[in-house]
A and B are shown apart, each in its own frame.
Chain A
Amino acid sequence: MHKEENGKDIDKKELQQLTKVQIYFELFKQIFVLSACTFGGGFVIIGMIRKVFVDKLHWITEDEILDLTVIAQSTPGPLGVNMAVITGYRICGVPGALVCALAASLPPMLIISVISVFYNQFKDNRIIALLLQVMRAGVAAVIVDVVIDLTEKVIKTKKVLWMTLMVAAFIALVVFKVNIIWLIMICGAVGLVNSLTAGKEAVK
């Protein structure tokens, strides 16, 4: 009974009310589950982290999660793990980052360890291939859901510049296959110039 109460409360409790150990445990649990279920690459885990830490736990704000995404993008290596590490650091410093790195790396390690033993059976199993193929439809829905939320957010700024930049960046990526690094640099420069020319009002 006590456990159930705890489980329900933890969603609503402010970060400050939790002990360090509770925070580490919750971080580990959330990231471990997300990492175990992220079929489809780093952007899926970003969407999931947003869902859990912004919508459900309210530990991070919507704006901040986008900033953290920029940082994760600018870091070499696995996007999903980097995002987890940065989220962990934001919530409780270096120990949080370590907990999240471990929680994000363990599930794929465990799964591959098992698979590497049953390598041939796994590769040729029809049901598994089918399951993984149809599961992509669900993964696509999760990401599209996140994209709708984020797009609404950009539209709500009511700034033509940001809406244009978003559409232009999308076309640049999809049609012209522009390198992400270039896109980050150009959009950063646009934001910088905008904040310098538009005066203090441009920056909230």
Chain B
Amino acid sequence: MIYLQLFLAFAQIGLFSFGGGYAAVPLIQSQIVEIHHWMEMDQFADLITIAEMTPGPIAINCATFVGQQVAGVPGEILCTLGYVAPPFLVALFLIRLYMKYRNLRVVQGMITGLRPAIVAMIASAALSLLVLAVFDSSLAQLQITDFHAVEAVIFVVSLVLLRKFKVHPIAVIFGSGLVGTAVYLLI
């Protein structure tokens, strides 16, 4: 019974979280802390911290962690499946529509208008990430005194490596982590 509850809780989270990882956080909180009491609030805060520190979608991290704490490995799999399955079906439905109708003029017009918007969205995500990396704060609370020179230098060098020397992104990410950690430990 607990398995079904876990699955349904995360299916709801998956189906109603529009707009990326952070949009899912309040939904997850309401399901696992307030409705089902699977976790205390301070545990939940720790969970969000860990999810932020590790790769992958924040809600999959939460689903796996909650499932594992409540019902072991089967719980883990069911929670993640519950979370991923409904969006999977919606995504399939939309991509099929796109493949079928993308040559219609009306649809093409719409898509052409959306492209600059998508570039802007990625750019705004890039800006928040850059501010977080270099100032260790959000854009709204930005203070010049928080400037981290090490991260700024790593950012510039990484960008040059990517653009001029076409180094693989994953090599750049791990390289920056290793070099930066070494620099911080030495100074």
Contacts and interface: CB of A to CB of B under 8 A. Distances in A.
Interface of A: 33-44, 46-48, 51, 63, 66-82, 85-86, 89-90, 94, 97, 101, 105, 107-109, 111-113, 115-116, 119, 122-123, 127-148, 150-151, 153-154, 162-163, 165-170, 172-174, 179-181, 183-184, 187-196, 200, 202-203
Given A39-B173, A108-B56, A138-B172, A74 B94 contact: yes
Secondary structure dominating the interface of A: helix
Given A76-B87, A101-B88, A109-B80, A183 B56 contact: no
Given A145-B159, A195-B109, A41 B20 contact: yes
A27 B113 CA distance: 30
A128 B122 CA distance: 28
Given A46-B122, A147-B119, A194-B109, A108 B172 contact: no
B74 interface: no
A120 to B, nearest CB: 9
Contact of B106 (A44, A73, A81, A192): A192
Given A35-B56, A71-B98, A77-B14, A138 B113 contact: no
A125 B41 CA distance: 22
B158 interface: yes
B79 to A, nearest CB: 10
Given A78-B21, A135-B174, A144-B130, A89 B163 contact: no
A203 B104 CA distance: 10
Contacts, number: 361
A130 B148 CA distance: 13
Interface residue tally on B, bucketed by range? 35 or more
Contacts of A109: 60, 64, 76-77, 80
Given A47-B169, A67-B115, A138-B174, 20 more contacts: A51-B169, A66-B118, A70-B111, A85-B92, A86-B94, A97-B92, A105-B60, A105-B80, A113-B73, A141-B159, A142-B158, A142-B173, A144-B159, A145-B162, A162-B112, A165-B116, A183-B121, A188-B111, A192-B110, A200-B105
B91 interface: yes
A63 B86 CA distance: 27
Q: Among the interface residues A71, A141, A168, which one has the most CB atoms of the partner chain B within 10 A?
A: A141
B62 to A, nearest CB: 9
B68 interface: yes
B6 to A, nearest CB: 14
A187 B60 CA distance: 30
Nearest to A70: B114
Given A180-B19, A184-B117, A195-B108, A48 B130 contact: no
Given A48-B169, A71-B94, A196 B102 contact: no
Interface string B60-84: 1100110011000100110010011
Contacts of A136: 129, 132-133, 151
Given A66-B118, A142-B162, A180-B121, A82 B87 contact: yes
